[in-house]
Amino acid sequence: MKLDLVYDIQQSYRKVLNCMSRPGLIENINEQSEKIDIYTNFYSSTLLLMFMLLDAEVNFYIVTEDESEIKKIVNQLSYAKSTDIKDADFIFILNDARAEQIEEAFLNAKTGTLMDPQKSATIIFETKGLKNEEGLILKGPGIKDEAYAKIDAKSNWINYRDKKNIEYPLGIDIIFVDVDSNIMCLPRTTKVEKQVVK
């Protein structure tokens, strides 16, 4: 069965919104992403998120070893324009990205302005795994007391995120996606602490 660009994208979009409003919640978009019949060397669920988020009105930046080839594919599929990392509305960090590339992506992502905090970047970050296990403590709007998350991602992303989100309402939002098509969102309003092992 082929991906329905209206129904399947709508179903996935609802799940992303649910995750964004309830940080730490894990939703799965495998039912939709497995319908994609385009081969890429990144997660099909990431490609599904590209279909959902990108159009001719926004721009993007890809963090990967194979940037030029993937940029072409994404541009053809979405009509969105590739841009400099500092101007990107959406930054996709793919699973082959090196630690220094990830650091550069976070540190250069736009955070919006006090007049327009929504004109910030959303980072879509491919990870090896997402679980609701102890590892990170999440607090903030949409979370009753606290939530737990284990995010198997490269680099010291928590520190980079903290630096970008220090002056609320300025900041960045993150959508994590893993190899099993699980997604988890961390909006800028969520406080993230590493759990202390006793």
Q: Is the pLDDT of residue 99 over 80?
A: yes
List all residues 6 or more positions away from 13 whose beta carbon is below 8 Å from its beta carbon: 52
Task: Specify the pLDDT at position 48.
Answer: 97
Task: Specify the pLDDT at position 198.
Answer: 61
Specify the DSSP element, H or E, that contains 70. helix 67-78
CA–CA distances in Å: residue 21 to residues 18, 161, 176, 197: 5, 18, 14, 28
List all residues 6 or more positions away from 100 whose beta carbon is below 8 Å from its beta carbon: none
pLDDT tens digits for 51-89?
999 999 999 999 999 888 899 889 888 899 999 999 999
Look up the CATH number of the domain holding residue 183. Answer: 3.40.50.11310
Q: Is the pLDDT of residue 107 over 70?
A: yes
Mean of pLDDT values over 20-25: 98
Task: Specify the pLDDT at position 100.
Answer: 96
pLDDT tens digits for 123-168?
999 999 999 999 999 999 999 999 999 999 988 999 999 999 999 9
State the pTM of this model. 0.96
* In-domain check, residue 150: yes
Task: Specify the pLDDT at position 98.
Answer: 96
Task: Specify the pLDDT at position 5.
Answer: 85
Domain that holds residue 186: 7-194
Residue percentage of the chain with pLDDT more than 90: 85
* In-domain check, residue 2: no
The number of folded domains in the chain is 1
Neighbours of 173 (CB within 10 A): 21
Q: Is the pLDDT of residue 33 over 90?
A: yes
Task: Specify the pLDDT at position 1.
Answer: 62
* In-domain check, residue 14: yes
Q: Is the pLDDT of residue 197 over 80?
A: no
* In-domain check, residue 39: yes
* In-domain check, residue 120: yes
